[in-house]
Amino acid sequence: MKYKFCDHFPENLENIDIKDIHKLLDGPTLIHIRGRRDDALYLSTLLHGNETTSFLMLQRLIKKYREVELPRDLIIFIGNTEAAACGMRHLPGQADYNRIWEEGFTPENELAMDVINYAKEQNIFASLDIHNNTGKNPHYGCINVLNEQFIDLASHFGSHTVYFTEPHNVQSMAFSKFCTSITIESGKPGLESGTRASFEFVDKIFNMDKLEANPARENPEIFHTFARMLVDENANIDFENTPCVKNDLSFLPDIDENNFEVLTKGTQIGFARDKSFISVKDDFGKDLTDDFLKFEEGKILLNRTFIPSMFTKDVFVMKEDCLGYIMELMIPTT
């Protein structure tokens, strides 16, 4: 699978509806436009087709810069146009475009390696990958390397920063090997607040002489994601928080309100028909269910205090990725 290459903003891209994006671009597209300086800003968009904020942000960026000289080179990757046209994370049978950034045997792995090889030959100032999530979360940046440059970059987006190393095959991880990179989580798809925040972040980095920390956020809190809460892929799930008779899992109706809040030991997050329907695994696949959960009369109780992120009520995402991530607060070691 090969990307299309373009050395200018594709005509009319800033005006179309997202459902027409595949008609316009006909597949994954890499755009490289020369600017005043050659240390390029790399933007990664629509790796997940239903996460529309990256597209809306890009339209705003094109409207601002189509007719003027760019402050520096701009490289834009537009990922899964087919899924984006259908409003899906990825199409059935397609790989998840944010789990392909490593050597592998799928056409999507090959595409990702070609993009990496192109980027490696450039002088990349920073790589920004823009995403949405499905639960209620603040805006935050995710980094995969704990050094000053990455922390400084993250300090410009939201008041929290998350550090993770799994999943390891995401875009920001692959790019972290040769440039400063970040994934930003800009809330739920399509909201004006997320589009505005991501546009302001991108435009600020685009115009920055050299990467410096945001003075308004000198000591950012950094959370380390180290485990995930998983549900059985065949489980029937509701959000009524009632004892399970027909369904297998019944979570709190507002379970996603707890993201980035401290959840204390003993808190009930729902009911399970059987404990086998829910588990906790760390980054290495080690089972931590008994550390984190205990089951009493069908209730799912927390056995440990922790901070979650990305708790979701989207059952598709829950089964494909997870119910939520488990984090600990950390002090940077550098």
Which residues of this protein are in contact with Zn ion, per CB under 5 A? 48, 51, 131
Q: Is the CB of 270 or the CB of 308 nearer to Zn ion?
A: 308
Question: Minimum Å distance from CB 261 to Zn ion?
Answer: 22
Strand partners, 42: 75, 127
Structure tokens, 109: 């792995």
Q: Is 153 helix (H, G, I), strand (E, B) or coil?
A: helix
Q: Is the CB of 131 or the CB of 136 nearer to Zn ion?
A: 131
Amino acid letter, 72: R
Question: Buried b vs exposed e over 42-71: b needs ≥16 C-beta within 10 Å?
Answer: bbbbbbbbbbbbbbbbbbbbbeebeeeebb
Q: What span, in angstroms and rounded, lies between the C-alpha atoms of 283 and 328?
A: 13
Q: Is the CB of 48 or the CB of 136 nearer to Zn ion?
A: 48
Question: Minimum Å distance from CB 44 to Zn ion?
Answer: 10
Question: Minimum Å distance from CB 290 to Zn ion?
Answer: 31
Q: Under a CB-based contact definition with an 8 Å cutoff, are residues 234 and 283 in contact?
A: no
CA 265 and chain centroid, separation: 28
Q: Is the CB of 37 or the CB of 319 nearer to Zn ion?
A: 319
Question: Minimum Å distance from CB 101 to Zn ion?
Answer: 13
Structure tokens, 260: 């980035």
Count of H helices and E strands in the chain?
9, 17
Structure tokens, 317: 């995402």
Residues ≥6 apart with Cβ < 8 Å to 215: none
Q: Is the CB of 115 or the CB of 263 nearer to Zn ion?
A: 115
Q: Is the CB of 152 or the CB of 185 nearer to Zn ion?
A: 185
- The vertex-203 CA angle with 159 and 197, nearest 5°, equals 40
Question: Minimum Å distance from CB 98 to Zn ion?
Answer: 6
Q: Under a CB-based contact definition with an 8 Å cutoff, are residues 222 and 251 in contact?
A: no
Question: Minimum Å distance from CB 131 to Zn ion?
Answer: 3
Q: What span, in angstroms and rounded, lies between the C-alpha atoms of 212 and 286?
A: 38
Q: Is 216 helix (H, G, I), strand (E, B) or coil?
A: helix
Question: Minimum Å distance from CB 321 to Zn ion?
Answer: 9
Question: Minimum Å distance from CB 137 to Zn ion?
Answer: 12
Q: Is the CB of 32 or the CB of 131 nearer to Zn ion?
A: 131
Q: Is the CB of 98 or the CB of 180 nearer to Zn ion?
A: 98
Structure tokens, 277: 């329907």
Structure tokens, 17: 């509806």
